[in-house]
Amino acid sequence: MAEFDTSHVKNIVLLGHTGCGKTTLAECMLYEAGLINRRGTVLEKNTTGDYHELEQERGNTIFSKLLHSKWRGYKINIIDTPGYDDFVGEVLSALRVADTGVMLINASSGVEVGTDIIWQYTEKFKTPMIFAINKLDDDNADFDKTVKEAKSHFGTNVVVVQYPRQVGAGFHEIIDVLRMTMYKFTDNGGKPEKLSIPDEEKAKADELHKELIEAIASNDETLMEKYFDKGELDEDEMKVGLKNAMIHHDLFPLFCLSAQRNMGSGRLMGFIDNVCPSANEMKPQLTKSGDELACDANGPACIFVYKTVSEPHVGELSFFKVFSGTVKAGMELVNETTNTSEKINQLFVVEGNKRTPVTELVAGDIGATLKLRNTHVNNTLHIKGKNIELPSIDFPPANMSVAIESTQKGDEEKLSIALHQLVEEDPTITVQVSPELKQTIIYCQGDMHLAVIKWKIEHLQKIQVKFTKTRIPYRETIRKMAESTYRHKKQSGGAGQFGEVFMRIEPWHEGMPDPKGLNVRGRDEYPLDWGGKLVFFNCIVGGAIDTRFLPSILKGVMEKMQEGPLTGSYVRDVRVCVYDGKMHPVDSNDISFKIAGLQAFRQAFQQADPQILEPIYQVEVLSPDDLTGSVMGDLQTRRGIVEGMNSEGHFSKINARVPLAELSDYCSTLRSLTQGRAKFKMSFAEYAAVPFELQKKLVEEYSKTAKDEAVLA
């Protein structure tokens, strides 16, 4: 039997800008619960959460970690997350399974960009939220200013539950306006002394107490009536009101902390136990088919895999939340996505890199299991006879791309396996082997994300790699009509080869009329895999070429369109008319007309004012108001066209169209330009003509490369 039932399991995620103290707070919570006997520190590289070698090397959290503490009859599952937006996948996966978020704010720095960015994700999930102002013992701490910023950024629904009697090095007293009690700590923190609120603080405490009651009552009609009748709400009524308001994302209680000195963590844990919702108190999950799935230990067993980790000498560890039923070791579940059965051989509760076997986990709990061969992140597993699939985590698109290759010959297959494993662990990474660009391309979230990818490949897989710029997928087309004739004739004894083709090519656009001056006998449209179309007309009269040879001519044209004459790029949006030709009764065959068609197309293309097209991307930048000028100026130096600007919260949203060729270093430049305070996303918009000078340069570079390759061959 499980040690805790569903109503006594609480799932929280620690959120906030890097350096706000999330890992230190998690360490405090484990220490207060008696699960560790000594608090580790980030500086000493011995915390339970940041156990990974890379995190200890860099001094900050990179991967989300599952921990748990036991506190006064409750189990609190804690997910510690990174603060950099490069690791957004770790935050989103944690938010998907958490029932409450704890947003930490550094009292000396106030609301930072990471806080703002993460808040947008919590708004998407509508996660119940607690704010915790940390580092109140810092000499530069300013509680009142930080609260003002929090209300400004996140709304007046941020309500003060605690405030410090003093800040800075002398911080050791917290006044709680929910319980109307003062907590006084020793210099070493830990369990505080509970005291009456001093006379000089009563007026302030009473005012904040009243504000808290009014905020709670305004979100609950029943409590509002009680408040009008009695002029007061007792502590239990306030707790009920707070819980309901948090569930509906209407109120966000604010607490005080010094995680470094272990002051305030116990009270925060008590609030999580007593007030924060359990999974079965939240709205039921909606399946992809729109059905409700109640969080009930007696319901059908159903788990959702939110994270996968590959551990040396062990294999893959799948982290999951039990959304319904009770999962037991040895149980067989069906993967709804892959339609395969998976046996849950082992179940674990997790403490950083420590795994403790358990026999079962109930609805609402979070755990891990080993070696689910056909199960990946975002998969739903359930008992046989059911068809349950929970909504997937929607991971953001990549912000940057680079080409990767191994520095040692013969490591290509090992690198392929390593990249596959990276994608399995981190769904925000995409790997593409591009036949067009002749590169293996990694798409990721930014420079720090890329640095982690490189570290993993080189340190864990022992493969030395190098990154290069991603080539640009240019396209080629034409701007005017041209005609050409090509005769292919080859005689080398025996049957020869003969085929002659007369061809007209024109720029194609939707809705254009049939070709003038030609007798159209057949028309076919071919949507191209790389975008655009080829429209192919049969305009041959008098049987100059048998219709059986037309597919061969088309094949030759298609072959040349896969390697345009200007830069070797794909050709698009061309209309081809074959209107005459000659054939030989013996020597004409498919290969002859394929070659004739290819060469006729090549010649005509070069005479038809060929044009190189480049991919243009829609770029959306969220920037602090005071930096919009610099951001817009940088976009314009990249040949970007700013299309508009408007406000979104405390950011200015800049929309621009920028050539992909100018965006290779944009992620790092924007971070440097704004000190990490801005973020962006981009998506393909269209292909557009490159400027004349750039086309000339690209053609010259391609010609030189082609000559060099010919010499080497």
State the average pLDDT over residues 238-260: 95
Mean of the per-residue pLDDT values for the chain? 93
Query: For residues 473 and 542, which has the higher predicted lDDT (pLDDT)?
Result: 473
**pLDDT value at residue 712:** 46
Determine contact, residues 198/273, Cβ cutoff 8 Å: no
* Rounded CA separation 590/602 (Å): 18
**pLDDT value at residue 231:** 85
**pLDDT value at residue 134:** 97
* Rounded CA separation 453/455 (Å): 5
Q: Which CATH class is domain 476-608?
A: alpha beta
- Strand 129-134 and strand 252-256: pairing? parallel
Q: At residue 586, does pLDDT exceed 90?
A: no
For the segment 523-539, what is each residue's pLDDT rounded down to a tens digit? 999 999 999 999 999 99
CATH of domain 9-281: 3.40.50.300
**CATH, domain 298-382, list 1.10.10.60, 2.40.30.10, 3.30.360.10, 2.40.50.140:** 2.40.30.10
**pLDDT value at residue 713:** 44
For the segment 675-686, what is each residue's pLDDT rounded down to a tens digit? 887 888 899 999
Q: At residue 498, does pLDDT exceed 70?
A: yes
Total-model pTM: 0.89
Determine contact, residues 686/465, Cβ cutoff 8 Å: no
Least confident of 229-238, 415-424, 505-514: 229-238
Could you tell me the pLDDT band of residue 43, with boundaries at 50, 70 and 90?
confident
Determine contact, residues 130/160, Cβ cutoff 8 Å: no
* Rounded CA separation 605/574 (Å): 9
**pLDDT value at residue 493:** 66
Q: Kindly report the CA angle at 75 between 72 and 77, in degrees rounded to 5? A: 135
Domain boundaries, the chain: 9-281, 298-382, 400-468, 476-608, 612-693
Determine contact, residues 653/621, Cβ cutoff 8 Å: yes
List the one residue out of 89, 62, 83, 15 whose CA is nearest residue 397.
89
- For domain 612-693, which architecture applies? 2-Layer Sandwich (3.30)
**pLDDT value at residue 614:** 97
**pLDDT value at residue 678:** 85
**pLDDT value at residue 706:** 67
State the average pLDDT over residues 620-649: 91
Helix (H, G, I), strand (E, B) or coil at 7: helix
400-468 and 612-693 share one CATH topology?
yes
- According to DSSP, residue 280 is labeled G
Helix residue ranges, H only, 98-217: 113-125, 143-154, 199-217
Q: Measured in whole angstroms, how far is the alpha carbon of residue 282 from the centre of its chain? A: 25
* Rounded CA separation 589/592 (Å): 5
Looking at the chain, the number of H-run helices and the number of E-run strands are 16, 38
CATH of domain 400-468: 3.30.70.870
Task: Compute how many other C-beta atoms are within 10 angstroms of the C-beta atom of residue 35.
Answer: 16
User: Backbone phi, then psi, for 104, in 5-degree steps?
Assistant: -90, 140
* Rounded CA separation 654/646 (Å): 7
Helix residue ranges, H only, 456-583: 550-561
**pLDDT value at residue 182:** 97
* Rounded CA separation 206/506 (Å): 81
Q: Measured in whole angstroms, how far is the alpha carbon of residue 437 from the centre of its chain? A: 25
Helix (H, G, I), strand (E, B) or coil at 315: strand
Q: Kindly report the CA angle at 661 between 659 and 664, in degrees rounded to 5? A: 115
Question: In this structure, what token pair is assigned to residue 97?
Answer: 């399974």
* Rounded CA separation 496/500 (Å): 14
User: Backbone phi, then psi, for 475, in 5-degree steps?
Assistant: -130, 160
Q: What is the total residue count of the chain?
A: 713
**pLDDT value at residue 709:** 56
For the segment 690-713, what is each residue's pLDDT rounded down to a tens digit? 999 999 999 999 988 766 654 444
Question: In this structure, what token pair is assigned to residue 310?
Answer: 């590959």
